[in-house]
Amino acid sequence: MIPFNEPLYVEKGLTYITEAILKYRRLNGDGVFTERCTNWFEKKCGTKVLLTTSCTHALEMAALLADIQPGDEVIMPAFTFVSTADAFVLRGARIKFVDIRKDTMNIDETLIENAITNQTKAIVPVHYAGVGCEMDRIMEIAKQHHLFVIEDAAQGMMAAYKGRYLGTIGEFGAYSFHETKNYTMGEGGLILINQKEYVHRGEILREKGTNRAQFFRGEVDKYSWIDLGSSYLPSEMNAAYLMPQLEIAEEINERRLKLWNLYYEELKELEEKEKISLPYIPKECKHNGHIFYIKTRNQKERTELIQFLGQYDIKAVFHYIPLHTSIAGCKFGEFVGRDKYTTEESRRLVRLPMYYALKEEEIKYVTACIKKFYEKR
């Protein structure tokens, strides 16, 4: 059986967890391993970083930092995970869904301005499959209309747009370390804070509304409750699992890209025969091999392909049901303009098995099965 995903495990994962437990004797948050992970990201990304319990929580923190209030409007694509919207709905915002681009499945930057009203407070680009949105244009629009840009870069670690890491371009960015992502701690994430003035409040929100972070740095002699907040810090055991992956982050990224490129090479002939479509990477973008997807001609063919691969012990899966067609999506938001691609393209998309431990022979087996499926079609 070739599963769709296998959570990343690298050597030293268990060693570091054991160290957290037996050497440092500390399991709660903000110990040695959280600090090492944070430093690694801050050095790499050049922004302030706070490790969180999930990307969902990082997005919730961003919504709080952007001071989203009931009645505010937030613009995002409908082709995304529920958390992108939930974080803002929790603050009472209305979601304005904008159509995606057919080529990258990312928000269509040319349609954003049409969705802006006096209530609009933020734009939330989602970098699908670790392929960057058209950030120059998005930042320009945000500047002109005084809006926050909060990047849902859950899938975007190591990927870049015009040489800048995804998640570091807007005011805030969020990564996920869920077990399905390129780097993982089971459940976890982080928020990237690009402007210094938000760092202080970010630390307070994350520590139940207290200035405990300042206290531990010795900047204040006691800590107390000074703002609203929640508990957004992960356990040291989770950070210890993530740390060794960061030590070989480049190697992991290169491996994924190699696997991604092999899929692409093997399936090119089917695209040339116009049987399937392959992903498109704009020249401004350096991606991270997070997802390898193909698009079938229609939804019926997709269902048949997924079933066919299942018979050969290959687990392929579809992805998001567009949020504006869901119960909560209808309640908390609406689509602005025409849904030209969101629904149609999401119905054609199939994700193929993709994980660090996947082998070249397995990819050749998967692609051979796909070619077999299309033989008579």
Ligand X SMILES: *Cc1c(COP(=O)(O)O)cnc(C)c1O
Applying CB under 6 A, which residues contact ligand X?
Answer: 54-56, 80-81, 83-84, 126, 152, 154-155, 176, 178, 189
Q: Cβ of 301: how many Cβ atoms within 10 Å? A: 18
Shortest Å distance, C-beta 232 to ligand X: 11
Shortest Å distance, C-beta 132 to ligand X: 13
Closest by CA position to 78, among listed 52, 115, 53, 132: 115
Shortest Å distance, C-beta 183 to ligand X: 11
Shortest Å distance, C-beta 313 to ligand X: 26
* Location of structure tokens 């967890």: 17
Comparing CB distances to ligand X, the nearer of 55 and 63 is 55
Shortest Å distance, C-beta 377 to ligand X: 31
- Beta-carbon contacts of 172 under 8 Å, excluding residues fewer than 6 positions away, are 61, 62, 65, 66, 148, 149, 150, 151, 191, 192, 193, 194, 198
Shortest Å distance, C-beta 200 to ligand X: 24
Question: For strand 120-123 and strand 148-152, is the pairing parallel, antiparallel, or unpaired?
Answer: parallel
User: Residue 99 is encoded by which pair of tokens?
Assistant: 């159509």
Comparing CB distances to ligand X, the nearer of 176 and 238 is 176
Comparing CB distances to ligand X, the nearer of 176 and 210 is 176
Comparing CB distances to ligand X, the nearer of 126 and 370 is 126
> Which three-class secondary structure string do you get for the chain?
CECCCCCCCCCCHHHHHHHHHHHCCCCCCCCHHHHHHHHHHHHHHCCEEEEECCHHHHHHHHHHHCCCCCCCEEEEECCCCHHHHHHHHCCCCEEEEECECCCCCCECHHHCHHHCCCCEEEECCECHHHCCCCHHHHHHHHHHHCCEEEEECCCCCCCEECCEECCCCCCEEEEECCCCCCCCCCCCEEEEECCHHHHHHHHHHHECCECHHHHHCCCCCCCCECCCCCECCCCHHHHHHHHHHHHCHHHHHHHHHHHHHHHHHHHHHHHHCCCCECCCCCCCEECCCCCCEEECCCHHHHHHHHHHHHHCCECCECCCCCHHHCHHHHHHEEECCCCCCHHHHHHHEEECCCCCCCCHHHHHHHHHHHHHHHCCC
Shortest Å distance, C-beta 84 to ligand X: 5
Shortest Å distance, C-beta 150 to ligand X: 11
Comparing CB distances to ligand X, the nearer of 83 and 296 is 83
Shortest Å distance, C-beta 106 to ligand X: 11
Shortest Å distance, C-beta 360 to ligand X: 26
Comparing CB distances to ligand X, the nearer of 133 and 259 is 133
Comparing CB distances to ligand X, the nearer of 55 and 294 is 55
Comparing CB distances to ligand X, the nearer of 241 and 373 is 241
Comparing CB distances to ligand X, the nearer of 131 and 276 is 131
Comparing CB distances to ligand X, the nearer of 190 and 281 is 190
User: Residue 102 is encoded by which pair of tokens?
Assistant: 């057919």
